[in-house]
Amino acid sequence: MKKKVLAALLAGCMAMSLVACGGGDSSSDSSSAAEANTDDGADAEGTVETVSPGKLTVATSPDFAPYEFYAIDEDGNPTLSGFDMDLAQYIADYMGLELEVITVDFDGVLSELQTKSVDLGMAGLSPDPARESIMDFSDIYYTGGQSLVTVKDNADKYNSFESINTPDVTVGAQTGSIQLDLANENSPEADIISLPKVTDIISELLAGTMDAAYIETAVAESYQKNYPDLEIVMEVPYDQEGSSIGVVKDNPELLAAVNEAIAAAIDDGSLEQYIADATELAAGQTYEGLLDESGNVQQ
């Protein structure tokens, strides 16, 4: 029953607009642009240009707890949450801008940046050198790690690169992600399937229609709390470890302001708090991670 209500809300939310619904405390409360942060200099001279004046437009892909996901509030409303979203609000406030979040699949985050339709992509994004032509990268603000994930029943079977590197094993990774590169590099013989959402990958693993998947460790651990059938079988080496913010190209003032804000959020303990809060929220009863293509909760 509750799931039905939620499904309807989510469908409505997505149908109306791509702009994030709900938002709660992670949405725009930074109305007094001119007054914000006058002591820090990031906005003092008003030199930072954004795609929509007065706003900081951020693309994200909310299938990636605890970075970004929908938490369900007391009224049953899905609310865009996660430490990326809190950090986005912090950066917007720091720059004296109003935050606007656009939700798309992860490959959409990359193309929004490439087409310069948004200012930032905040999606647990890896500073992959292959992306340097379409975006700039902020300083690293979080370090996760990569994992190979399966379900408990298969944990003895799929526990090495060799064991999954065969055509009769289906191996998943998110479309456009570095995890897909890791799958291609480490298990080239496998039947590699790319799906637009990490939550789709998780539901395929749980349904037994996918054997193993490459997922960021922090994200796998988060979903594992809600779906204990998942098993992280091994760590996967990756040489560009860490998450950064994708910044629209050719806007060095914006890049500098974002790096300044990240440093401030680390220094004053905000980021640490956001990570703790998001980790807790993602593991709570109110969280539902499995959404289908239309944003409906899967049964």
Least distance from C-beta 76 to ligand ARG, angstroms? 24
Q: How far is the CB of 237 from ligand ARG (least distance, A)?
A: 15
What's the DSSP call for residue 69? Answer: E
Q: Which is nearer to ligand ARG, 170 or 175 (CB)?
A: 175
Nearer to ligand ARG, 91 or 125 (CB): 125
Q: β-strand 170-174 against 191-195: which pairing, if any?
A: parallel
Q: What's the min distance (Å) between Cβ of 4 and ligand ARG?
A: 26
CA distances from 244 to 126, 209, 224, 225, 241 (A): 6, 32, 24, 25, 10
Residue 188: asked if its preceding bond is cis (omega within 30°), the reply is no
Q: Which is nearer to ligand ARG, 58 or 125 (CB)?
A: 125
For residue 86, state whether it binds ligand ARG (rule: CB under 6 A): no
Give me the amino acid identity at 282.
A
Does position 198 interact with ligand ARG (CB under 6 A)? The reply is yes
215 binds ligand ARG, rule: CB under 6 A: no
Stretches 4-12, 60-68, 165-173, 288-296: which one binds ligand ARG (CB under 6 A)?
60-68
Alpha helices in the chain (DSSP H): 2-16, 83-95, 106-114, 161-164, 178-186, 198-207, 217-226, 252-267, 270-283
Interface with ligand ARG, residue 82, by CB under 6 A: no
Residue with Cβ nearer ligand ARG (48 or 180):
180
Report the 10 Å Cβ neighbour count for 116.
Answer: 14
Give 243's DSSP letter. Answer: B
Q: Does 178 bind ligand ARG (CB under 6 A)?
A: yes
Radius of gyration in angstroms for the set of CA atoms belonging to the chain, rounded to a whole number: 19
Taking the complex as a whole, the smallest distance from the CB of residue 263 to ligand ARG amounts, in Å, to: 21
22 vs 124, beta carbon nearer ligand ARG: 124
For residue 29, the minimal CB distance to ligand ARG (Å) is 23
CB-based contacts of 244, cutoff 8 Å, min separation 6: 125, 126, 127, 137, 138, 139, 140, 141
Rounded to the nearest whole angstrom, what is the least distance from the CB of residue 124 to ligand ARG in the complex?
A: 4
Site for ligand ARG in 238-297 (CB under 6 A): none
Residues 176, 171: Cα–Cα separation, whole Å: 15
Number of residues that bind ligand ARG (CB under 6 A): 15
Would you give the binding string for ligand ARG spanning residues 87-126, x where CB under 6 A is met? -------------------x----------------xxxx
Kindly state whether residue 216 participates in binding ligand ARG, applying the rule CB under 6 A. yes
Residue 271 and residue 265: Cα distance in Å, rounded?
5
Q: Is there a contact between 199 and 289 (Cβ–Cβ < 8 Å)?
A: yes
Is 83 a binder of ligand ARG (CB under 6 A)? no
Half-sphere CA count of 199, side-chain side, radius 13 A: 24
The footprint of ligand ARG (CB under 6 A) covers: 61, 63-64, 67-68, 106, 123-126, 174, 177-178, 198, 216
